[in-house]
Structure 1
Amino acid sequence: MTDPPDLPYPARWEADVVLRDGGTALLRPMRSDDADLLVSFYARVSEQSKYYRFFAPYPELSERDVARFTQVDHHDRVAFILTVGGEMIAVARYDRTGPAEAEAAFLVEDAHQGRGVGSVLLEHLAQAARENGIEKFTAEVLPENTRMAGVFREAGYQVTGGMEDGVVSYALEIEPTAMSLEVMGAREHRAEARSVARLLTPSSVAVVGASRSRDKVGQALVRNLVLGGFTGPVYAVNPTARAVAGVPAYASVLDIPGEIDLAVVAVPADSVRDVVIDCAAKGVHGLLVVSSGFAETGREGRNRQRQLARLARAYGLRVIGPSALGVINTDPELSLNASLSPVVPSRGRVGFFCQSGELGTVILETVARRGLGLSTFVSAGNRADVSGNDLMQYWGDDTETEVVLLYLESIGNPRKFSRVARRLAQSKPVVAVRSGRFTQGVPLGHTVHRTSVPQAAVDAMFRQAGVIQVDTLDAMLDVAQVLAYQPLPAGPDLAIVGNSDSLGMLAADTAAEAGLSVVRQAGALRPDATAEDFERALTDVVQDDAVDSVLAVYVSPLDLDGADVARVIAQVAGESAKPIVVTFLGSQGVPEPLRQYDERGVAVRGSVPSYPSPQAGVRALAKVTAYSQWRSRPRGQIPPVEGIAEERAREIVESVLAARPDGGDIEGAHLDALMRCYGVDIWPAYRVQSVEEAVATAERLEWDVVLKATAPHLRQRPDLADVWRNIDTAAEMHDAWSTMLSTIGEPESAGFVVQKMAAPGVPVVVGCAEDQMFGPIVSFGLAGVATELLGDLSYRIPPLTDVDAAEMVREVRAAPLLFGHHGGEHADVAALEDLLHRVARLAQDVPEVVAAELGPVLAGPDGLTVLGARVQVAPVEPQARMDWYARRLTRL
């Protein structure tokens, strides 16, 4: 082995991580000045753990040991330490033993064993090793060291091992596998769910910054906790008061005699840092920061917000906020209203995440007015730490939550959002509103990466994840009412029952627009229809196998309360396995006569949501129907793709970037070689500078050729002046050349090429791009200016399942052209789907490929012909994909 390069400290490897019990820690590379930390850590480790590490009694480290362990080069010798509150609690290292092999070792302080420390360290150590060209870890473990043995066996990597001389030797192939990624995702899910549970289910709360003035935030928080009936002790922290709103006050969190689970912070922004340190010393589990004065105030505030998040995480704390409205948990065993809202909705089965503190009170009032019960509510404000991703992790395990609502103003980690939401939506519906959807605007307090992804691609990401996306808060609550109280429809077939023909027609028109089919319309009910009339009509359509969902419309011509009609609607709905929604006297929400309760007095399934107009009810049913169909469809598999040469592709891109450090287009032999690495052959094209060269090339190809302009500004012109087909003679080539030059200009700027005519087919374009926020994105559409102008493209985030690829081909509006439209031939759609998988693999494997477009690709009945390709490469930050293979909290 050659001497390792002199590498600087790899700050990109630093990470905030969540441990198994929900606490946080700082993971970072070892530094040469960590000697004192290491010695102090080693002194706290038990003799048994030391024996497990060194296979012999090793009571203390010598100066030579300390120097050896702290001197690392971040290449052949790499070490990570884990710290909480600045104290080291664990260390992991590898030492290279061969060109692609290293020996790994771990040591965890006894007080922190069982917290999942070893598995987190292994993930990050393996990621660093892969960056440095290492493919395998070896490790020796004593048989009685069951914890460490479990870390290796349960990591999801390919592991081999055997016993020799009383020691178990392990060998781990550290290339990420489907199993290792699944294991990592499951561990991340459990840890983050527990970290949020510590915030939403506290047994005690302290309000730091509690005020005696009724017009101050601090007193409102205390008052809402007390008046809300919180079942645990509430403490106030105010250095000048003995009590606040009847609650005992203390000068500091440290002076409170009991344990504190949640600290609600309402002090000036520049005092929050001291509060974090005091809370960490007290053993507080989490912080809710309602204080303002952070990222929404500018650069200084953004720095203060980053420091808040990093400091809290380094001390083991999660943070909701700053500028948060607060959190609510309606569980009667808690009755937690740690928020600034005096309005608390009734108990229900809906979890609500809102980023905006300003809108939070309005949202709660609207939810309460509609009678939609909530399980929990979180307003995260500037979202410095805890985000919607964390809440989805928690709600995925929360048996008290059946529906998830997200009011989003920004998405800090879209890749993770897509992954977490997709898993959650398979069991619980997720409904989202995104502000700034078309303007790409982000509130001042939100720090997110820039993105160049088109809006259609973001929408596709939501659909791919199964998220029900709506445009307004009212539409969100309309959908939530169906999801919370009615079963999912089995299909798109709708029946309309009502005593108003005009409203029935409006409902039918809306159904056609929204993608539902009206199969029954019992509009014969008279305006003065009785409860018995409604009962007969509703029972009839519910029992009809052709009906999947029902809309009932009741309008009283005599200003009656309709109690009898409500009773029969509720009765039929309670016995029906099909969703029933109503327009009941123009009311909105779940009117009392249409409610059904459990033994705790909580409105349950069978309650019937009402809408002020039939259109709103139909649109809500349409959204729910689309979700039901997504949920019931096959999930699909990520198919194996034959003929991939990933390492060779990386070598080609690295060689191009070595010659052109700023990147650019890959051309010529490099382009052909790169695409062959992914099983894609580009139809040969020959650059020509004159008509004589064009004729000579055509003769070599034995004619039947195409003359084409390839300059980017000339491609796919609507007048088709960029291409001349079926050229069979020198005279025809001269004619084509002169005619195209008269339209296009000089050949030097046109980029003329000659190609052999390919078999006919439908021209399509397959592309991919690397985005700073979203990572790789794959696109598909038919070639042509109309597709560009109309945005008729489909998008997905890799990896693609076979279902994803099939849907991409079929969901563009021009897709019928691939399936024999107007007598055309059926394209080889299977070959198209295979090409999508190949491009997705390229995008996923080589992040330096920042943009690629294959097109036009002729999709014929017997296969594909790729007529051209453009691939752009650029250097990317080493940390661009680090969160794919090792757990880490987003740092903004």
Structure 2
Amino acid sequence: MAEPDLWPAHWEADVVLRDGRTAHVRPITPDDADGLVTFYADVSDQSKYFRFFAPMPKLSEKDVRRFTQVDHRDRVAFVLTVADKILAVASYEMLEGHEAEVAFLVQDVHQGRGIGQLLLEHLAQAARERGVQRFTAEVLPDNQRMLQVFYEQGYQVAGGWEEGVMHLEFDIDPTDTAMGVMAAREHRAEAASIESFLSAKSVAVIGASRRSDTIGAVLVRNLVLGDYSGRVYVVNPAADAVAGMPAYARVGDIPGEVDVAIVAVPADAVQDVVLDCAAKGVHGLIVISSGFAETGEDGRKRQRRLVGLARSYGLRLIGPNALGVINTAADVAMNASLSPIMPPRGRAGFFCQSGALGSAILEKVRGRGLGLSTFVSAGNRADVSGNDLLQYWEEDDATEVVLLYLESIGNPRKFSRIARRVSRSKPVIAVRSGRTTQGVPMGHVVRAIEAPGAAVDAMFRQAGIIQVDTLDEMFDVAQLLAHQPLPRGSRVAVIGNSDALGLLAADAAAASGLEVTRSVALGAEAGAEDFEEALDKVIDDPDVDGVVAIYIPPLNAGGAEVANALAAVAEQSDKPIVSSFLGREGVPELLRVPDLAGNTAGRGSVPSYPAVEQAVRALSRVVDYATWMARQPEDDEVLDRVDHDSASRMIAEFLMDAPDGRDLTFAESKQLLGFYGIDLWDRVEVTSAAEAVAAAETFGWDVVLKATAEPLRQRPDLAHVWRNIADAEEMGHAFEAISKVANTVDDAGFVVMKTAPPGVPVRLDGFEDPLFGPAVSFSISGAITELVGDKAYLIPPITMLDASEAVRSIRAAPLLFGHRGSDPVDVDSVEDLLRRVAQLKNDLQQVCAIDLSLVHATADGVAVLDATVRVEPVVDPRSDWFTRRMTAHPGDTIPD
């Protein structure tokens, strides 16, 4: 292989193809000579002709050397491999200027799997990094597949005829259209990979034993007793039969096709199973076996080898250390898990990572009568993750609510992008463990998120995810979303036969941001007719968006008639109804409305909560989600005065002089910010009173003398700023006064600048997290803000609405809107500045930190008075790189 420094490490990647199988993309090397010859021999004569415009049955030694010996700069080539066999080759060669000619060759048997589009993505990204701006290609008109690759990539392709050949040209900037095309293909491929697991028509259990207490035996028993509609095969080299079914020594001995293999053998034997499954053509593996990353460093290495091996042979993997998967669809009925509980059919899809917790979750689901469509416990989440399941559930008609129990997030930016799209059509409810500590379980080999928890919460909020604190609260919200309509607003009515509980409900509503517009006390002896009449009235009331119904039965009353009344009204209501009915939890049978599919609890069923506070809190969470849904996706105005190319060139020059990175000078910061339309006010550094006077005269007086040394700025008890200086005498007094609180004049870092108009001081920060990516924050400037943590966080890219909500979300926001008779500031300018900082941080990963520590927000706009910027080289590209790629193998440092 070539030396690793000949190309960036992120040029190598595991990828998911259109059919859901995996492959590996990497630069070609001289060691690929024999593989290239073998590859070429399996290409049809027609495809060879399309590539070279002439009959070329074999590659000469000279051809092989030319194709495999490239400089990875002016000549770049990638191969796509499965099991180290080359399936496709793509390359570009520099022409004059910033153009390069691109060409592809894919083995005929693998055409139609989306390989050409995927290789074009990776070639284009490599080319951009090498300074290429435009691709050209020569294509024969009969080569419709290749023409389709170019035209469907999302680039603006221009074409013309020349001597019977199509000459194509297109810029390779990652436009919104091209990125949208890439995301759509990623979605289809990852959804297909999960579909192969959840709709498998045949399953092989590897490691099944005749002993009933073994893991393998439990897996077989759960599949069979769950009425799985597909074929079940048993693999055990030491037995002729298991559970009355013939046993096979190896997967390869099974006579029929095998879609999914469930692996329950010792960890050291799993790799041999992978090779056997790959040879059989198995689509995916569910590894129940433990003994991997959760056990320590040796296990981490074993897990890394397992994932690398599976992907190299085109297999996706759930686990290891997984509980398994469940699909409750009647035509599948697959319980491929260690849990004996087959949950009832329902509308919620559930993803979790802990196998031990998975069993408890299924027990709780059954107890509440919630019902699931599908369930996946991914264990150590070494390959298949919550992102993959979100891709699948987005298109799954049987899933209306998505439930996620997340112990780690391997790719937060990708998760945010997918979740924001999914949340527009289906509510996503998430519990995130380690929310305060940002810790992850032993088996989850991911880099820690260094961003504050509030920034991660902001990501969830921007994506429309309903983030809750506990599993119980997740189910509280899920049973409401699964059975009741969304509210149109936050106004609620409280109806009940208990005055005390009614008051508790009203207090809980006020604390949760809900407005009680109707409160109906029916009395302790109220019956079904009283409840039905009251419910009909409040549902017809235009000032009511949701209803909380409370029923505590009097002595010797069971409540069946009241339950029937609640269910009857709820079935016809377009407003949500929650209840605290007999202190029950879940969806009691008395409150269920069967749906057309015969499920136990259909639309219109009324969820019940043991405490009224739970009912109100669940309704409040759903109101917040409905409010987010009501936000119309905007066609945001494109920011003017943004010169990304000049900013990039400037940073590149800085890093050439300082390869390890450095802080920019004030003048450099001003220039860089100017490329994004941010005007940093001029200032002059001075070391004496005379210099200060001279600087003030250039500004025309009414100036500020300020000590910029960090120790002085961080001490509120020290006067480090003297404002509204009008003449030389005042400047002399100011310089002397501030000098007394500094050790020396040189230590003070004196600057002179114009006095800013009165306003509210605000602060905007941007930073880069190694896993999380870019983030920005907004706050009122000052020590008190830092102490109480009154900051709003945003995850770029952001919309105008995101900026607007962030500015209004901090507790000190009233200061911007005329608090106590002060003049309101120009909030639009504040929001515009926030968007510009966010775009700069999103565009320029090399800007690892940016701090606009003092911005005066006034009635007439914003004055950016101070800024610090630091640039550093990119060691790891962000996880939203402009190519499709899978999460890196555990232990790697390359994100996906």
Give the TM-score, by structure 2 length: 0.97
Alpha-carbon separation, structure 2, partners of 1:597 and 1:172 = 56
Alignment of 1:6-17 (within 5 A): 8-17=6-15
- 2:784 corresponding residue in structure 1: 786
CA contact (8 A) 2:666 2:868 kept: no
- 2:393 corresponding residue in structure 1: 395
Residues 50-80 of structure 1: per-residue CA shift (max 9 Å, x gap): 1111112211111111111111111011111
Q: 1:642 aligns with which of 640, 643, 646?
A: 640
Structure 2 counterpart of 1:679, one-letter code: G
Residues 402-425 of structure 1: per-residue CA shift (max 9 Å, x gap): 000000000000000000000000
- 2:578 corresponding residue in structure 1: 581
Extract unaligned runs of 5+ from structure 1.
Answer: none
Q: 1:276 aligns with which of 255, 274, 277?
A: 274
Alignment of 1:571-720 (within 5 A): 571-602=568-599, 603-715=601-713, 717-719=715-717
CA contact (8 A) 1:716 1:784 kept: no
- Between 1:592-601 and 1:232-241, the stretch displaced more is 592-601
- 1:858 corresponding residue in structure 2: 856
- 2:289 corresponding residue in structure 1: 291
Alignment of 1:543-554 (within 5 A): 543-554=540-551
Shift of 1:712: 2.6
Alpha-carbon separation, structure 1, partners of 2:530 and 2:838 = 57
Shift of 1:827: 1.4
- 1:472 corresponding residue in structure 2: 470
Extract unaligned runs of 5+ from structure 2.
Answer: 891-896
Residues 528-552 of structure 1: per-residue CA shift (max 9 Å, x gap): 1111110111111011011000000
Alpha-carbon separation, structure 1, partners of 2:709 and 2:654 = 21
- 2:529 corresponding residue in structure 1: 532
The 3-state SS of whatever aligns with 2:624 is helix
- Residue 412 (str. 1) matches residue 406 (str. 2): no
Structure 2 counterpart of 1:40, one-letter code: T
CA contact (8 A) 2:771 2:878 kept: no
Return closer, same or farther for 1:338/1:160 CA change in 2, 3 Å cut-off.
Answer: same
Alpha-carbon separation, structure 2, partners of 1:336 and 1:490 = 38
The 3-state SS of whatever aligns with 1:98 is coil
CA contact (8 A) 2:549 2:577 kept: yes
Structure 2 counterpart of 1:534, one-letter code: F
CA contact (8 A) 2:51 2:105 kept: yes
CA contact (8 A) 1:102 1:134 kept: yes
- 1:887 corresponding residue in structure 2: 884
CA contact (8 A) 1:6 1:73 kept: no
CA contact (8 A) 1:652 1:670 kept: no
Alpha-carbon separation, structure 2, partners of 1:189 and 1:84 = 21
Alignment of 1:298-337 (within 5 A): 298-337=296-335
Shift of 1:807: 1.6
Shift of 1:737: 3.2
- 2:870 corresponding residue in structure 1: 872
CA contact (8 A) 2:368 2:587 kept: yes
CA contact (8 A) 2:212 2:218 kept: yes
Shift of 1:721: 2.2
CA contact (8 A) 1:709 1:750 kept: yes
- 1:376 corresponding residue in structure 2: 374
- 1:182 corresponding residue in structure 2: 180
Alpha-carbon separation, structure 2, partners of 1:612 and 1:626 = 22
Structure 2 counterpart of 1:631, one-letter code: M
Alpha-carbon separation, structure 2, partners of 1:746 and 1:321 = 62
- Residue 566 (str. 1) matches residue 563 (str. 2): yes
The 3-state SS of whatever aligns with 1:183 is helix
- 1:444 corresponding residue in structure 2: 442
Residues 206-247 of structure 1: per-residue CA shift (max 9 Å, x gap): 011112222221111111111111111111111101122223
- Residue 157 (str. 1) matches residue 155 (str. 2): yes
- Residue 766 (str. 1) matches residue 764 (str. 2): yes
Residues 642-697 of structure 1: per-residue CA shift (max 9 Å, x gap): 12222221222222222222222101322221111112221112222233433343
Alpha-carbon separation, structure 1, partners of 2:553 and 2:579 = 14
Return closer, same or farther for 1:534/1:314 CA change in 2, 3 Å cut-off.
Answer: same
The 3-state SS of whatever aligns with 2:824 is coil
- 1:61 corresponding residue in structure 2: 59
Q: 1:342 aligns with which of 340, 343, 348?
A: 340
Shift of 1:599: 3.3
- Between 1:48-57 and 1:185-194, the stretch displaced more is 48-57
The 3-state SS of whatever aligns with 1:881 is coil
Alpha-carbon separation, structure 2, partners of 1:272 and 1:522 = 63
Shift of 1:10: 3.9
Alpha-carbon separation, structure 2, partners of 1:506 and 1:20 = 54
CA contact (8 A) 1:127 1:882 kept: no
The 3-state SS of whatever aligns with 2:878 is helix
The 3-state SS of whatever aligns with 1:766 is strand
Shift of 1:842: 1.3
CA contact (8 A) 1:762 1:817 kept: yes
- Between 1:264-273 and 1:446-455, the stretch displaced more is 446-455
The 3-state SS of whatever aligns with 1:868 is strand
Alpha-carbon separation, structure 1, partners of 2:504 and 2:733 = 60
Structure 2 counterpart of 1:227, one-letter code: L
Count of matched residue pairs? 886
- 1:453 corresponding residue in structure 2: 451
Return closer, same or farther for 1:10/1:452 CA change in 2, 3 Å cut-off.
Answer: closer
Identity of aligned residues (%): 60
Alpha-carbon separation, structure 2, partners of 1:702 and 1:834 = 29
Moved over 4 A (4+): none
Structure 2 counterpart of 1:408, one-letter code: L
Alpha-carbon separation, structure 2, partners of 1:430 and 1:392 = 9
CA contact (8 A) 1:22 1:192 kept: yes
- 1:356 corresponding residue in structure 2: 354
Shift of 1:98: 1.7
Residues 15-72 of structure 1: per-residue CA shift (max 9 Å, x gap): 1111111111111110111011111111111111111111122111111111111111
Alpha-carbon separation, structure 2, partners of 1:389 and 1:421 = 8
CA contact (8 A) 1:10 1:74 kept: no
- 2:894 corresponding residue in structure 1: none
Q: 2:119 aligns with which of 106, 112, 121?
A: 121
CA contact (8 A) 1:32 1:71 kept: yes
- 2:23 corresponding residue in structure 1: 25
CA contact (8 A) 2:771 2:879 kept: no
- CA RMSD after TM alignment: 1.5
CA contact (8 A) 1:230 1:334 kept: yes
CA contact (8 A) 2:762 2:857 kept: yes
Shift of 1:472: 0.3
Structure 1 counterpart of 2:74, one-letter code: D
CA contact (8 A) 1:237 1:253 kept: yes
Shift of 1:704: 1.8
Alpha-carbon separation, structure 2, partners of 1:668 and 1:269 = 57
Alpha-carbon separation, structure 1, partners of 2:244 and 2:707 = 82
- Between 1:832-841 and 1:602-611, the stretch displaced more is 832-841
Shift of 1:624: 0.4
- 1:739 corresponding residue in structure 2: 737
- Between 1:332-341 and 1:666-675, the stretch displaced more is 666-675
- Between 1:433-442 and 1:555-564, the stretch displaced more is 555-564
- 2:249 corresponding residue in structure 1: 251
Q: 2:85 aligns with which of 72, 75, 87?
A: 87
The 3-state SS of whatever aligns with 2:862 is strand
- Between 1:673-682 and 1:746-755, the stretch displaced more is 746-755
Shift of 1:557: 2.2
CA contact (8 A) 1:7 1:75 kept: no
Structure 1 counterpart of 2:680, one-letter code: I
- 2:828 corresponding residue in structure 1: 830
- Residue 846 (str. 1) matches residue 848 (str. 2): no
Shift of 1:510: 0.7
CA contact (8 A) 2:348 2:372 kept: yes
CA contact (8 A) 1:38 1:88 kept: yes
- 1:193 corresponding residue in structure 2: 191
- Between 1:243-252 and 1:487-496, the stretch displaced more is 243-252
CA contact (8 A) 1:207 1:263 kept: yes
